[in-house]
Amino acid sequence: MNLAANLDYSAKHNLCISFVHGLLLVAAMAAIYLSLGSNKGDRAQYIARAIAALAEHGVDVIQESSLYETEPVETSSKTWFLNCVIKAETKLLPPQLMHTLLDIERWLGRRRRVLRGPRVIDMDILLYDDRVVRTDHLVIPHPRLAERQFVLVPFAEIASETRHPVFKNTIAELLAKTSDRSEVRPYRDKSKE
């Protein structure tokens, strides 16, 4: 099959064909879940801009949770976060997706100067289909997903019956048994009241 036939086949079967370092890679559309958070500047605006940027980079957002205001956890910052979880589809492979998220973070102004410091945007891959990925630079499912209410609450809002591919529990079950008791509350945009 020649390249034109490959590209035609990929379009009909929802596949992505790309060449990386001389290798032909074929990827099907993957269902993914991402966590987004911000605790610096106009938090809601940074999250909205990040979600909009995903669409421009090969990530089709299908569903968004509500925004939640969350107590800072594992950070040197005292400013509360806004967090949400989105469900999306992409043809990007996990490393490509991670690079895309990092590029969007940089474009929005994130600078990693202080370990666990304030951030205009933070984007994490929670799940990529039911794949388990472990490399030096990427771990999927997110290794602390089950330990964080600020992820589990919005995740359960949109996908409570989704199963963690390692623990085999649903997101609702993980939320019910997490030991994290940090505060997570629905966000009210006071500027619109």
CATH superfamily of 30-183: 7,8-Dihydro-6-hydroxymethylpterin-pyrophosphokinase HPPK (3.30.70.560)
How far does CA 164 lie from the centroid of its chain? Answer: 15
Q: Which of 95, 166, 171, 79 is nearest to 137 (CA)?
A: 95
Q: What is the pLDDT of residues 5-25, one digit of tens each?
A: 444 444 444 555 555 556 665
> Is there a contact between 32 and 97 (Cβ–Cβ < 8 Å)?
yes
Checking if the pLDDT of 3 tops 80, the result is no
Exposure b/e, 66-100, CB count within 10 A at least 16 = b: ebbbbbbbebeeeebbbbbbbbbbbbbbbebbbeb
Distance CA(158)–CA(33), nearest Å, equals: 10
Long-range contacts of the stretch 24-29 (C-beta < 8 A, 24+):
25/93, 27/91, 27/92, 27/93, 28/91, 29/89, 29/90, 29/91
145 pLDDT higher than 90: yes
Distance CA 103, CA 97 (A): 10
Residues facing 33 on adjacent strands: 87, 127
Q: Considering just the CA atoms, what is the radius of gyration of the chain in Å? A: 18
The string of pLDDT tens digits covering residues 70-122 is 998 877 678 899 999 999 999 999 999 999 999 999 999 877 666 666 788 99
148-186 pLDDT, tens digit per residue, is: 999 999 999 999 999 999 999 999 999 999 999 999 999
pTM above 0.75, yes or no: yes
Residue 157: Cβ within 10 Å count:
17
SS3 24: strand
